[in-house]
Amino acid sequence: MRYVLKQKLLSWGDDYYIRDGDGREVYFVDGKAISWGGQLSLKDMEGNELAFIKQKLLKLSPTYEIYRSGELAAVVKKELFALLHHRFTVDVPGPNDLEARGDFLDHEYVFTRGDREVATVSKRWFSLGDTYGVEIADGEDDVLILASAVVVDQACHRDDGKRH
């Protein structure tokens, strides 16, 4: 499935709209403007919360927790010491962990599970603002991968214009 993830330029907090391959808005990410640390809610267009993202404070590297229905679904953590490329781990319960690896400064990276590519994120085709395409393999958890892509954007591109 293909999605377009676009951060709203004028908003209180970090808000994103997510459109499907046909251009229909299918999800909305509501960034909490007044919160201690980063908190975001990924919702469907009816306002139902599908995932809640919370930044873990006082960690050496950016770390976020993704909750679904009140249960911890994943911990996304930026690796501090990646020699040749940047890397994030998406630790999910059980053996299905994901890894995101690539050029995060330019929004060009791939999610993998073991040796299998499960999603790609690319800003290559978009020039204005924080807009990029996300292509997710069939049978994958779209909400988890989209929430993880939002976490990567939050960790690498804070709204103060500095890159981390």
What residue has token string 């991968």? 145
> Greater confidence, 50 or 150?
50
DSSP 61: S
pLDDT in tens, 1-13: 999 988 766 544 5
* CA dist., res. 50 & res. 69, Å (int): 7
Q: Record the tokens describing residue 12, joined without a space.
A: 């209180």
Select from 42, 55, 52 the least CA-distant residue to 15: 42
Inside any domain, residue 116: yes
Residue 112 within any structural domain of the chain: yes
How do residues 19-48 score in pLDDT, each as one tens digit? 999 999 999 998 875 455 678 999 999 999
CB 13 within 8 A of CB 55: no
| pLDDT beyond 50 at 137 | yes
- Is 162 inside a domain boundary? no
Q: CA-based angle 57:59:63, to the nearest 5?
A: 75
Greater pLDDT, 16 or 65? 65
What type of residue sits at position 150? V
85 found inside a domain: yes
Q: How many CA atoms lie within 13 A of 133 on its CB side?
A: 12
Does residue 82 fall inside a structural domain?
yes
- Is residue 16 assigned to a domain? yes
Average pLDDT for 57-76:
90
How many structural domains does the chain have? 1
What pLDDT, on the 0 to 100 scale, is given for residue 118?
97
**CATH label of the domain that carries residue 16:** 2.40.160.200
At residue 148, the 3 state secondary structure works out as: helix
Q: Is residue 164 part of a domain?
A: no
Asked, for residue 161, whether it belongs to a domain, the answer is no
Domain carrying residue 37: 2-156
Give the pLDDT confidence score for residue 107 in this predicted structure: 72
Look up residue 111 and give its two tokens: 């999610």
